[in-house]
Amino acid sequence: MGRQPWLVYGILRTVDGSSRHISAGNALFTLIGFMGIYTILAILFLFLVYREIEEVPKRPLEPLEPASEALSWKPSGSAWSPS
């Protein structure tokens, strides 16, 4: 839980809620670090997705059954069974 609820409800003043020991340079360094990590993860993700897309299937795919046969179920009593 951060400082924000204390600031919103007036328990902590805004002046007291800011950190005096963290400089703008430290915040910028942290921001650039997070951006770098997420950039590397995005590049890795795109590389892995591209590799999967380019991979050729090892065996040919079997054709699916026709839609008319797959949808030909009719009720029989209280349970569904194929016609």
Tally of domains within the chain: 1
For residue 38, give the H/E element and its range. helix 24-54
Question: Residue 24 falls within a domain, yes or no?
Answer: yes
Token pair 């009720």 is found at: 75
Question: Residue 17 falls within a domain, yes or no?
Answer: yes
**What is the per-residue pLDDT across 46-65, written as a single tens digit (0 to 9) for each?**
999 999 999 877 777 777 66
Cβ atoms 47, 39 nearer than 8 A? no
d(CA 17, CA 11): 10
Question: Residue 66 falls within a domain, yes or no?
Answer: no
Cβ atoms 16, 3 nearer than 8 A? no
Question: Residue 31 falls within a domain, yes or no?
Answer: yes
Q: Please give the pLDDT value at position 44.
A: 98
The stretch 29-37 carries a mean pLDDT of 97
What domain range is 2 assigned to?
1-56
Which position has the higher pLDDT, 58 or 23? 23
Residue 79 has pLDDT above 60, yes or no: no
Question: Residue 3 falls within a domain, yes or no?
Answer: yes
**What is the per-residue pLDDT across 7-18, written as a single tens digit (0 to 9) for each?**
777 787 877 777
Please report, as a single letter, which amino acid is at residue 82. Answer: P
The whole-model pTM stands at 0.52
Residue 36 has pLDDT above 90, yes or no: yes
